[in-house]
Amino acid sequence: MDYFATRYGDQVLQEPPQRGFALALWALPVLALLGGVIWVGYVARRWRKPQPVSPAQAAPAETNDEYLRQVERDLGD
């Protein structure tokens, strides 16, 4: 193997060397997997946590009751 690597270069081994800049080729998949796991955990926690309702989104009960009474009156006629 050393003979072929010396004669034809490291690409003949079909495996990047574990030194120098090529070491990043070994580290990037591990870092990408770790980042993906962290991202999925963040999204899952955020998805499960109830979002606070702003006052603009929460309609008062009186308004809803009045609306329902109006609908019932309209449908009754």
Banded model confidence at residue 25, pLDDT cuts 50, 70, 90: confident
The predicted structure's pLDDT at residue 77: 62
Question: Taking residues 28-52, what's their average pLDDT?
Answer: 90
The answer to whether residue 65 scores a pLDDT higher than 70 is yes
Amino acid at 66: E
Burial readout 18-30 (b: 16 or more C-beta within 10 A, e: otherwise): eeeeeeeeeeeee
The answer to whether residue 36 scores a pLDDT higher than 90 is yes
Banded model confidence at residue 56, pLDDT cuts 50, 70, 90: low
